[in-house]
């Protein structure tokens, strides 16, 4: 079963509708600005730069579920832009686990059993809306397994 289209509050105000990316693969990553894995932002931006013209979307989902995020979306946005030069779509601070998990993450959990156990967990959703693969925080964005899965999702093979 496919993960349903999800609506996230945008860090820029308004909403991000995953349905706007129907037919495109989306890498959804829960993040935190004060996490030891924060340098993964560089790899995420590299993936986005490398594959966005081919259709990849990288959706950054700041979360304070592990008590490592800044106090407000505005602070997160400023940090990410100033320190890492991020220009990927980004949600406002969002819960990714437990009973307050965003519906996207609740559905991923229900469909696949995957629950983020830390920051910088990755969920690759295919063009058909199905979860292709998930990776934990220790798997960097440019890991060959991640890159291969993205390339396959982009080519449909």
Return d(Cα 120, Cα 31) in angstroms, integer: 5
Catalytic residue status for 80:
no
Paired tokens of 58: 């990288």
Distances (CA, A) of 81 to 29, 42, 77: 17, 11, 6
Domain 7-155 has CATH 3.40.30.10: yes
Locus of tokens 């965003």: 102
Return d(Cα 104, Cα 28) in angstroms, integer: 10
Contact 130, 107 (CB under 8 A): no
Q: Catalytic pick from 18, 29, 35, 153?
A: 35
Residues β-bridged to residue 7: 17
pLDDT in tens, the chain (157 residues): 456 578 999 999 999 999 999 899 999 999 999 999 999 999 999 999 999 999 999 999 999 999 999 999 999 998 988 888 899 999 999 999 999 999 999 999 998 999 999 999 999 999 998 999 999 999 999 999 999 999 999 997 6
Contact 94, 106 (CB under 8 A): no
């Amino acid at each position: 079963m496919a993960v349903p289209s999800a609506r996230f509050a945008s860090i820029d105000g308004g909403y991000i509708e995953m349905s706007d990316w129907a037919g495109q693969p989306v890498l959804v990553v829960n993040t935190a600005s004060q996490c030891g894995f924060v340098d993964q932002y560089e790899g995420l931006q590299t993936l986005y730069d490398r594959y966005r013209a081919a259709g990849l979307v990288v959706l950054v989902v700041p979360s304070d579920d592990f008590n490592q995020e800044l106090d407000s979306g505005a602070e997160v946005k400023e940090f990410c832009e100033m320190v890492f030069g991020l220009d990927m779509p980004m949600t406002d601070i969002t819960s990714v686990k437990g009973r307050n998990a965003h519906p996207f993450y609740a559905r991923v959990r229900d469909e696949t059993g995957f629950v983020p156990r830390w920051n910088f967990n990755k969920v690759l959703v295919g063009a058909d809306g199905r979860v292709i693969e998930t990776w934990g925080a220790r798997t960097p964005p440019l890991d060959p397994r991640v890159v291969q899965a993205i390339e396959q999702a982009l080519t449909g093979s």
